[in-house]
Chain A
């Protein structure tokens, strides 16, 4: 069982480091799309999760709600991962 909080913290770190510009003050509830999270950013997050946890989030789970912020993304990832 992996806690959503652990994924959230890893995602926050990854997005800060590799996706967003340093001047973006990122926190778990930042509106990702409003900050410029695009299709390519999504691809990179999915690859990061695949590499870190060994699973690909099914496309059906990639909804606007899931991509709202890091918290919702982490909670989706945790739910999918723990259901396997």
Chain B
């Protein structure tokens, strides 16, 4: 049972996302919230777990506004810890589990983390619960959140001049979740079968499901048979996955159907027509594309015409407005968006929301066009971020590592379009001397970068392409 005392906990004028969980736990305490392997956790039980973890974490005396890294794989504990930290008004910074130690250190320093939560014990850590350890870190200074009621910072790596981290307050997350659900239409009747990494996807998905009182089933296996079996066993109604997953499930050659699914959202990278068609032929359901932007939330979702306009990310979603800025003769221009749930700031260096907007509009860096019926088509990007099967890869971060190697004079990292994965990471290297070789670079990258960021191809070049005038390394859309 959720005690009334918990609601009083937030009576300090600040909104807290735990209100969403607590309201669901009071409304439908017996409703399954999370299913992991064979264990089912109800909303009442989840709220109780969150309270218990919050009490244990409070013994660590973390002040509100302090930032904690969360380096957990997908699990019920991941969800409970996030809400427990929020309950203490602590800011959650997801740390992908694939990060090597050096990267964890970089995130810790840049985000001024007061500690990090991990499933394995690290040296000099405290056990919070079985399989949950807190390692204290000592940031040089307490972070300045500029008076915002921050809940979450998504770390985005880059060079020292790049903006590191997108910060969101409790209120902003609530607003973007509510806006997104006007498009998703998730309710307590829904069961979501989940397979994407929570460290990369959490707010307009997991938080939204919790507010709606939906059931979240954590699928451990993503290959067709166990995944489709999980969908049928738990009567999944919503799928949220990458084109790569949908291709696997549609082409497994078995006769298994998934009649309970009402919505299958394809996210993370552009959907290939062959995958959209194969999925429809196999399951009689269209794949729905959407556009999620880290600074904005869910901007568009194609629930209106997913068959007829399969390559569109749909009409504008929820309470957002969008426009194409300075379109060319074909109608193509940069996508600008305004509406609720725009991120509150960039962190390190701090850039307040009003500074990142132009006349109230956020410029996404995506190039696109709108058809006469308001369906949005994305054409390419102005930004150089590489999207590898749903993981964002920042070229500058990889170049910074490569440039430290003695064989490298300078480097350029870029994305190459891949039919199944969105993009892959490749690097062009200007060697430091005629004797220098590329051979040692993969191993060097492995020491310093998460595995998915390591270029799959290194090419030696005489010089890097540069922009005329400024002479900066040319950043372009991914190459085909």
A60–B456 touching, CB < 8 Å? no
A60–B252 touching, CB < 8 Å? yes
Decide: A59 near B251, CB < 8 A? Known: A43-B452, A44-B451: yes
Chain B nearest Cβ from A40, distance in angstroms: 6
Q: Find chain A residues with CB under 8 A from B223 CB.
A: 62-64, 66-67
Chain A nearest Cβ from B39, distance in angstroms: 18
Contact with A along B228-267 (1 / 0, CB 8 A): 0000000000000000110110111100000000000000
Which B residues have a C-beta under 8 Å from some C-beta of A? 73, 98, 195, 197, 220-226, 244-245, 247-248, 250-253, 388-389, 391, 419-421, 424, 446, 451-452, 454, 456-457
A58 at interface (Cβ–Cβ under 8 A)?
A: yes
Of B73, B98, B222, B456, the residue contacting A47 (CB under 8 A) is B456
Decide: A19 near B225, CB < 8 A? Known: A40-B389, A59-B250: no
Of A40, A63, A67, the residue contacting B391 (CB under 8 A) is A40
Q: Find chain B residues with CB under 8 A from A3 CB.
A: none
Closest to A56 in B: B420
B225–A43 touching, CB < 8 Å? no
Chain B nearest Cβ from A59, distance in angstroms: 4
Shortest 4 CB-CB contacts between residues of A and residues of B: A60-B251, A59-B247, A59-B248, A59-B251
Q: Find chain A residues with CB under 8 A from B457 CB.
A: 51
Q: List 22 A-B contacts (CB under 8 A).
A: A18-B451, A19-B451, A33-B220, A39-B245, A40-B391, A40-B451, A40-B452, A43-B421, A43-B452, A44-B451, A44-B452, A46-B420, A47-B424, A56-B419, A59-B244, A60-B248, A60-B251, A60-B252, A62-B248, A63-B223, A64-B223, A66-B223
Closest to A65 in B: B225
Q: Find chain A residues with CB under 8 A from B451 CB.
A: 18-19, 40, 44
Q: Find chain A residues with CB under 8 A from B388 CB.
A: 43
Q: Find chain B residues with CB under 8 A from A80 CB.
A: none
Of B195, B244, B454, the residue contacting A43 (CB under 8 A) is B244
B225–A47 touching, CB < 8 Å? no
Additional A-B contacts beyond A59-B250, A67-B223 (20; CB < 8 A):
A17-B446, A39-B195, A40-B389, A43-B452, A46-B420, A47-B424, A47-B456, A51-B456, A56-B419, A56-B420, A58-B251, A59-B247, A59-B420, A60-B251, A60-B253, A62-B223, A63-B223, A63-B225, A64-B224, A66-B223
A2 at interface (Cβ–Cβ under 8 A)?
A: no
Q: Find chain A residues with CB under 8 A from B98 CB.
A: 40
Closest to A46 in B: B420
> With the chains together, A47 CA to B226 CA distance in Å?
23
B456–A64 touching, CB < 8 Å? no
A39–B421 touching, CB < 8 Å? no
Chain A nearest Cβ from B72, distance in angstroms: 13
Q: Find chain B residues with CB under 8 A from A46 CB.
A: 420
Most A C-beta atoms less than 10 A away, residue of B222, B226, B250:
B222
Q: Find chain B residues with CB under 8 A from A51 CB.
A: 456-457
> With the chains together, A31 CA to B396 CA distance in Å?
36
A33–B421 touching, CB < 8 Å? no
> With the chains together, A39 CA to B391 CA distance in Å?
11
Closest to B248 in A: A59
Chain A nearest Cβ from B279, distance in angstroms: 11
Contact with B along A33-65 (1 / 0, CB 8 A): 100001110111011000100001011101110
Which residues, 5 to 41 on A, are CB-close (under 8 Å) to B? Answer: 17-19, 33, 38-40
